Every structure is written in structure tokens, then in C-alpha cells.
A and B are shown apart, each in its own frame.
Chain A
Amino acid sequence: MADQSDGKWVRVSEGRWRRVSRRDFLKLTAGAAGVAAAAGNFGSLLTSFVRAQQRELRIMTWSHFVPAYDEWFDPYAQRWGQAKGIRTTVDHVSFADIVPRANAEVAAQSGHDVYFFLSPPSAFEQQVLDLADINREAERRYGPMVPLVRKSIYNVNTRKFFAFSDNWVPDPGDYLKSAWTTAGFPNGPSSWEELLVGGRRIKERSREIQIPIGIGYSQDIDSNMATHAIMWSFGSSEQDANENVTLNSEETVRAVEFGATLFRDAMNPAVLSWNAASNNQALNARQTAYILNSISAYRTAQDNRLPVADDINFVGALRGPRARWACEHVMGCWVIWRFSRNPDNAKAFLLDLVDNYREATINSKLYNFPSFMGSVAEKKVPLADKPEEGRKWVRAAVTNDPFGSTPRNKLAILRDAEEWSTNVGHPGPANPAMGEIFDTFVIPDMFAKAATGQLTPQRAVAETDRRVKEIFTKWRRLGLVGGGGRDR
């Protein structure tokens, strides 16, 4: 009786009711769960069996700033897989999620076979394969890689190629010709001093432009590149060529003083809050007259048929008191995880990608520059001549932009981009300490604090120096960073 009285009337269909006891309910749910579990197990067993027989490659890459590149890359990867009999999957992640996602894959020791980073992933060195073999093979086929690329993917302390690079991206200055003509610099600024003078004039003469100079001092990747370019041009850097910390110097103080003056005279607090898209948006909305960026802002203006596109022009790295340097805008680095299930497929894919790099460069609308210049030379050219022939091809392409620039030589300044571009960590390598400094925005913060008067330039440098030394000490303890004997 007890069982029956516990039962509940359950409607099973229109006009049909059934009394279900607790026992019945448990039996039913247990049975259903058992069937579901068995079906699931069978399904996964079947999947594993099928997977074990397939050749596979899982690729993780970013959502390119020039969407046309992804439209080429994804079908290319599929075609490559079909030709090799390898099932290829391409996943995309936004640029801001590249590092968090990589951390998740490392923690899980599972994920993609080959993974793309926008900046040197030196912190992940212990979790990736040494790619000396394919780097050497690529150099054997196309000649030496671009020097700044080598410094971004090779750890001299562990003698390990922790990445393979197919591309790097220059970071020229993008300016509005009309505003700079009014300011007396029709060809744009050529030095940091001219940038300051021109910025002041634009502030006076072109009042419709909110932010005459749009260089970010915020927690974003573009701000990192811009502030490093200022430092290098003033003869300052976090480390020397041998990875000794050298930030605490007169040169750094002068660079920060210049940055503070530039902020007060030609910028406004909006630049303290910018994200990676802000400078593009401000330039295309004619709210700023100069940004440090790749050509993607310009390509976006072209794609959207904005009238400002014709007014956007380019200058190379600005000359400072001591040097003329710009940071690479993107250092495309591929890694193959230690836990990759298909490392050989991944290596073959990367080598074949470089073999098709002329096509890749064109489909990125000249955004991607080849890491192996020889890879874009004609195939029949002898190896010894490939790098130079490749450079000639790149120069010809940017001098005669096939993507509707007016005038067609608008991108000509990129011809000598290799000469004025350098790597994160300059004049040393892109080691994990530099990676942490870069990814936690230590240098833009130093400039912002001095610019807003939170700290004097001297105190901002001293505070940042302590942080930089802490970071270097930690990575040296792990054996991934050298130097230390001549820290300043």
C-alpha cells in the first residue's frame, strides 16, 4: 500500500494517465540513463576508432585584421589537407584571446596541433617542440630568414627555435595628408620632433580633429609598440643585446619626458583608454591625424569606401635623437605543442604555407610580409638570389599597390620597412621576460603615469625599473633568460 499511495498520476498522452510510483520512476530514469550512457560510450568508441584511422591536423589561428586573408587561408588549408589525405580543421580566435586560449590548451595538455601567436610566445618554450628542423629546412629552400624574425623565435640561452614564423608586419605611421599639409608637413613627419611640432600646429589649425596625435598610452598592443618605438629612438631599452636590464638610464628619462610633452601638447586623455581598434576608428573618423599602425586601418577605410582612405598616407619609423626604429606590428609565430598528436603534419603544413607565401602576401592585401624573403621569389630563381629577388618582389608590390590605392605608390614607404623595423626586446632577443613586460603593459603605463603627472618621469622610470628587474629575475631563475651580470 505504501508504494501505491506514494505514486503520482502522470499524464502520458491526451486523455491517458498513469500512476507512477517512486520505484517506477527510479527504474525508468535509471534505465534511460543506462541507455543514454551506453549510446554515448558506443558513439565515442566509434569516433575514437574512426579518428585513429584518419590523418588529422588541427590548426588554431587568429581572426586576421584583414578579413580577406582568412577567406584565402581557410580554403587553402582545406585544399592542402585534401591533397595530402589529411583531415584539416582551422579554428579562429580573436587576437585578444590568443594567449588565454593557449594557456588553457597547455593546462589541459590538449587542443590544436599547431597554434598561431601574434607576438613571440617565448613564455611557452617548455611546452613546444624545437622547430630547428623546419626553420633550417626553410632557410635551405629560401635563404636566411629576416633578422628580426630570428630574434623573435630563437632562444640563445636554450638554443631552441620555439616557433616558426611565416610572416611579420611593419608598423608605419599613418597620417592624414590634408591636416599635415595645413601644419606645414605635406609629406608627414619624419622625426619625433616634427611629430610634436606638427601635432601642436594641427591642434591650433584643425580644431575639428579631437586628438592631433593618436598614439596610445594604454593597456593595448599598439600602445606597446608606439612607446617602445619612442624609447628605442631615444636610445633607451629594457635590455641590451646580452639581456642585461638597462632601463634605468638618462635616455629612458628623456624618452618619457618627450612622451609626456607629446601627450600634453598634442594628445588628450582618450589615448589612455584605447584598445587595439581605437586608433583605427579615430583615424577613419578623422578624429586623429597620426597613428602608428599597420596598413589595416587604411584597408578598412578602403573596404568601407570611406572618403578618408584617399587622405591617409604613410611615413616610416620616425627619427629620434639616437636612432630610427619602429616595432614590428605583428610577429606571426606558429608553435607545435609537445602534446600535439600530429607534429609531422603540422611541420609539413607550415613548410608548404611558406612555399605559397607570395599568394599569402597578396591575399593579406600586402599586410603580411614574408619572414623568409626568398619564399616570394620566383620558383626558378637560384637559392643564392632568392632573398634579394623576394625583396624586389615585395618592393614592387608595395610601390604599385594592386588594391586600389590612390596614388598607386601610396605604400611605397614600406619598401625599406625591414631596415627600420625591429623586434620586441630590441636590441636583445624576444625572451619571456620581454614577453611578460609586453603583455602586462609595463612600458605604456610608465609613459601614462608621467604624461598625466601621476609620477615625474624620473620616478616613473624608477618604478618601472623595479618591476622590470623583478620580471627578469624570475625568468632568469627558470633559466630562460640570460644576462644579469651587467644590469644597470
Chain B
Amino acid sequence: MALRREAHPGVTPVLIFRRRTLADREDLLGKVMLAPALFYVIVLVAMPLVLAILLSFSASFAGSLDFHWIGLRNFGAIIRDPQFLLALRNTVLFTVISQALVMVLAVTAAHVLDAAFVGKRVVRFLLLLPWAVPVSLAAMAWTWIFDSTFSVINWTLKAAGLLQGWLYWFGDPTLAMIAIITVHVWRMFPFATVIVLAGMSSIPQDIREAAVVDGASFWRRLFQINLPLLLPIVTVSVLFGVVFTSTDLGVVWLLTRGGPYNSTHVLSTLAFQRGILGANLGQGASIAVFLLPFLMLAAVGMLRVARRAEVGS
């Protein structure tokens, strides 16, 4: 029971007793309301992650529930495996090139959408479509666009007389990687654009107007006003993109399944092939969690930048 003092104008305050409930206990209420989210994170994120880490130290295979601890043997095996090293290199390349392209396109698109023009809403809607389309559906369309035999790009270029020979998009490792990066950038840049656009709207209008009045050119405004002020939010976007891209399975698997001859595997697809299709769960898990320490560092960086941006605002 809690003691409450109720004060009414013109009335002598009286002491009344009321039952103190959960709603009155701010400290406990916060924890209770946070609990469902925490439960969700523990059950659906933390537990699978811990399980994957444990599996990476085991000789487990798909058709068994046995757990044989083998220490770091899986990691030793994959580090000696040229296919793993290629997948690691592809993951880094895929992530760096994709993110660089995404940010260039996102900043460009955000500047275009920041301007006033007829049909701006329609353009915004169209721009967001790739983000909203399910990855499997998009990948099916792109698979046909880049098909080695029936590629619409090839047929169009041929018809226009711009292509001699033939581009085997998924049959050549370099072209296949270009196709993968193209689809991933197409998919990711709308989200980055929205983030940058939100950041641009937070730049005080008077600073922009002052720059215009002072006669600053577009490039000067871009590099000396907009980008420095956008830096915190762009960094958050990049770090999000890095984590998302380096762990992405869908685009690579749906487009090339790691081919031709296992040359376009990234870590997640190689982990799937070895762990699930090949039944080698332990090794698959070790490939999947290999980047975890690096991604955790990236995540810590992301949170710090986000915090700095929050404090700055």
C-alpha cells in the first residue's frame, strides 16, 4: 500500500492510502514492457547465434543430433581451404564495392529528390519499389535478365548492333560478380537514399540559404556543407549496409548458387552449401561465424556513430 497526497484547491490536503500498482512503478514498468522485445531477441537471435558458435566447434552433421566437440579443427580446415579463401575475398569485394556504389547512388538520388519538381512523389514511390519487392521475386526477374542463354541485355545490345559475341553473365566469374553486385546495389540503394534524404532534411535551411546567397556552387555546397553535415547519418547507413551485405545469402544464392565452379561464393552461400546441402553442419557453422568478430566490431562502431549523431543533434 502506498501513501498518496492528493491536493485540491481550497481543500486541506488529506492523506489517503492507495494500492501501488505496476503502473506506478516506473522502474519495473520499463523492464516489463521491454521484456517481450528482449525475449524475442534472446529466442530468435541470441540462441541461434550461440548454437551456431557451438556447432562451429563440433563435428556435427545434418542427419544427426550428436555433438562431438573438436575445438578449432573446423576453423583450421577452412583456413587451409582455397574455396573458403576465395569466398572470403568475394565477401570483402562484394561488400566494399556494393557499399561504395550504394552510397554514391543514394547521395545522388537524395539530392535529386530534395529538389522540387513535378512528379516527385511518383519518383519517390518508384525509387522505393526495389526495397519493397521480395528478394526471391526480384532475383527471378534478374535471373532472366542476366541469363547466359536468353539474356535480354544481350539480345537488346545485339539488336542495336552494340555487341559482338556474347556475354555469358553467369558463366564467367567476373561477369557473374558484376551481376550480383548490380542486383544487390539495385536492392539496397533505395533504403540508403531514404536515410540520406532524412539526414538532408535535418540540415538547417538557413545554412543552405546562406551558402546560396554567398554564391557557393553546387559542388562546393555538396562537399563543404551537405556531406560534412550528413557524415554521421551516412556512416550509420554504411555500417548497416556493411553488416547487411556481408551476411546476405539471398542474392548470391538465387542468382548463381555460388557458380560458375564455386567462384562467386560469399561466406553465407558457402556455409549453406557445405552445412545444409552437404550435411557438414560443423564446417558450415564455422564458415558462417568466421566474420562474426569483425562484424561485431563494425556493429560497435555503428552504435557509437549512431550515439554520436544522436548527441550531436
Chain A residues with CB under 8 Å of B279's CB are 103, 123, 432, 435-436, 439
Partner of B64, one of A127, A270, A278: A127
Q: State which residues 403-453 of A face B: CB under 8 Å.
A: 432, 435-436, 439-441, 444-445, 448-449, 452
In the complex, the answer to whether B278 meets A448 with C-beta atoms within 8 Å is no
Complex: how many Å from CA A440 to CA B83? 12
Complex: how many Å from CA A22 to CA B33? 13
Instruction: Assess A126 versus B277: contact at CB under 8 Å? Given A219-B258, A270-B171.
Output: no
Partner of A26, one of B23, B77, B150: B23
Whether B7 sits at the interface, judged by CB under 8 Å, is yes
In the complex, the answer to whether A1 meets B149 with C-beta atoms within 8 Å is no
Smallest beta-carbon distance B77→chain A, Å: 8
In the complex, the answer to whether A218 meets B260 with C-beta atoms within 8 Å is yes
Chain B residues with CB under 8 Å of A124's CB are 62-63
Query: Nearest residue in A to B4 (C-beta to C-beta)?
Result: A2
Partner of B168, one of A21, A103, A273, A454: A273
Q: Which stretch, A280-288, A368-376, A378-386, touches the partner chain B?
A: A280-288
In the complex, the answer to whether A439 meets B148 with C-beta atoms within 8 Å is no
Question: Interface readout for B168-179 with A: 1 if CB under 8 Å, 0 if not?
Answer: 111110001000
Query: Nearest residue in B to A278 (C-beta to C-beta)?
Result: B149
Q: State which residues 434-482 of A face B: CB under 8 Å.
A: 435-436, 439-441, 444-445, 448-449, 452, 454, 463, 470, 474, 477-478
In the complex, the answer to whether A436 meets B278 with C-beta atoms within 8 Å is yes
Partner of B63, one of A220, A285, A432, A441: A432
Complex: how many Å from CA A478 to CA B63? 11
In the complex, the answer to whether A268 meets B6 with C-beta atoms within 8 Å is no
Query: Nearest residue in B to A272 (C-beta to C-beta)?
Result: B260
Query: Nearest residue in B to A282 (C-beta to C-beta)?
Result: B149
Complex: how many Å from CA A446 to CA B12? 93
Smallest beta-carbon distance A186→chain B, Å: 26
Complex: how many Å from CA A436 to CA B283? 13
Partner of B260, one of A22, A285, A435, A448: A448
Whether A132 sits at the interface, judged by CB under 8 Å, is no
Chain B residues with CB under 8 Å of A287's CB are 149-150
Q: State which residues 255-291 of A face B: CB under 8 Å.
A: 268-275, 278, 281-282, 285, 287
Instruction: Assess A100 versus B64: contact at CB under 8 Å? Given A271-B171, A273-B171, A448-B261.
Output: no
Complex: how many Å from CA A273 to CA B176? 9
Partner of A127, one of B63, B168, B261, B276: B63
Q: Interface majority SS on B: helix, strand, loop or mixed?
A: loop
Whether A163 sits at the interface, judged by CB under 8 Å, is no
Smallest beta-carbon distance A260→chain B, Å: 13
Chain B residues with CB under 8 Å of A100's CB are 276-277
In the complex, the answer to whether B62 meets A106 with C-beta atoms within 8 Å is yes
Complex: how many Å from CA A421 to CA B268? 36
The residue in A21, A125, A478 that gathers the most chain B C-beta atoms within 10 A of its C-beta is: A478
Chain B residues with CB under 8 Å of A217's CB are 260-261
In the complex, the answer to whether B6 meets A445 with C-beta atoms within 8 Å is no
Query: Nearest residue in B to A475 (C-beta to C-beta)?
Result: B61
Q: State which residues 160-205 of A face B: CB under 8 Å.
A: none
Whether A323 sits at the interface, judged by CB under 8 Å, is no
In the complex, the answer to whether B63 meets A436 with C-beta atoms within 8 Å is no
In the complex, the answer to whether A1 meets B260 with C-beta atoms within 8 Å is no
Whether B21 sits at the interface, judged by CB under 8 Å, is yes
Complex: how many Å from CA A477 to CA B280? 13
Complex: how many Å from CA A439 to CA B149? 25
Whether B256 sits at the interface, judged by CB under 8 Å, is yes
Chain A residues with CB under 8 Å of B6's CB are 1
Whether A210 sits at the interface, judged by CB under 8 Å, is yes
Query: Nearest residue in A to B175 (C-beta to C-beta)?
Result: A269
Whether A23 sits at the interface, judged by CB under 8 Å, is yes
Complex: how many Å from CA A452 to CA B274? 24
Partner of A272, one of B23, B59, B150, B171: B171
Query: Nearest residue in B to A30 (C-beta to C-beta)?
Result: B22
Smallest beta-carbon distance A262→chain B, Å: 15
Whether A99 sits at the interface, judged by CB under 8 Å, is yes
Chain A residues with CB under 8 Å of B64's CB are 126-127, 478
Whether A211 sits at the interface, judged by CB under 8 Å, is yes
Smallest beta-carbon distance B270→chain A, Å: 10
Instruction: Assess A272 versus B261: contact at CB under 8 Å? Given A23-B21, A26-B22.
Output: yes
Question: Interface readout for B46-67 with A: 1 if CB under 8 Å, 0 if not?
Answer: 0000000000000101111110
Chain B residues with CB under 8 Å of A268's CB are 166, 168, 171
In the complex, the answer to whether B149 meets A269 with C-beta atoms within 8 Å is no
Complex: how many Å from CA A287 to CA B150? 9
Chain B residues with CB under 8 Å of A281's CB are 149-150
Instruction: Assess A106 versus B261: contact at CB under 8 Å? Given A123-B279, A287-B149.
Output: no
Query: Nearest residue in B to A122 (C-beta to C-beta)?
Result: B63
Query: Nearest residue in A to B172 (C-beta to C-beta)?
Result: A269
Instruction: Assess A439 versus B277: contact at CB under 8 Å? Given A211-B149, A272-B168, A273-B176.
Output: yes
Chain B residues with CB under 8 Å of A272's CB are 148, 168, 170-172, 259-261
Instruction: Assess A273 versus B280: contact at CB under 8 Å? Given A123-B63, A219-B258.
Output: no
Chain A residues with CB under 8 Å of B61's CB are 123, 474, 478
Smallest beta-carbon distance A128→chain B, Å: 8
The residue in B77, B171, B262 that gathers the most chain A C-beta atoms within 10 A of its C-beta is: B171
Smallest beta-carbon distance A203→chain B, Å: 14
Query: Nearest residue in A to B23 (C-beta to C-beta)?
Result: A23
Query: Nearest residue in B to A101 (C-beta to C-beta)?
Result: B276
Complex: how many Å from CA A285 to CA B150? 10
Question: Interface readout for A196-236 with B: 1 if CB under 8 Å, 0 if not?
Answer: 00000000000000110000011110000000000000000
Whether B187 sits at the interface, judged by CB under 8 Å, is no
Instruction: Assess A125 versus B63: contact at CB under 8 Å? Given A211-B149, A278-B149.
Output: yes
Question: Interface readout for B150-190 with A: 1 if CB under 8 Å, 0 if not?
Answer: 10000000000000001011111000100000000000000
Chain B residues with CB under 8 Å of A449's CB are 261
Chain A residues with CB under 8 Å of B260's CB are 217-218, 269, 272-273, 448, 452
Can you list the 9 inter-chain pairs with the closest CB atoms, starting with the nearest?
A269-B171, A273-B170, A272-B260, A270-B148, A448-B261, A269-B168, A124-B63, A123-B279, A440-B278
- Residues of chain A touching chain B, judged by Cβ–Cβ distance below 8 Å, are 1, 21-23, 26, 99-100, 103, 106, 109, 121, 123-127, 210-211, 217-220, 268-275, 278, 281-282, 285, 287, 432, 435-436, 439-441, 444-445, 448-449, 452, 454, 463, 470, 474, 477-478
23 contacts between A and B (CB under 8 A): A23-B21, A99-B276, A106-B62, A123-B279, A126-B63, A218-B259, A218-B260, A219-B257, A268-B171, A269-B171, A269-B172, A272-B260, A273-B169, A273-B171, A275-B257, A285-B150, A439-B279, A440-B273, A440-B278, A441-B262, A449-B261, A474-B59, A474-B280
Q: Could you list 9 further interchain pairs (A-B, Cβ under 8 angstroms) beyond the known A272-B148, A477-B59? A: A1-B7, A23-B21, A103-B62, A106-B63, A127-B64, A217-B261, A219-B259, A272-B259, A278-B149
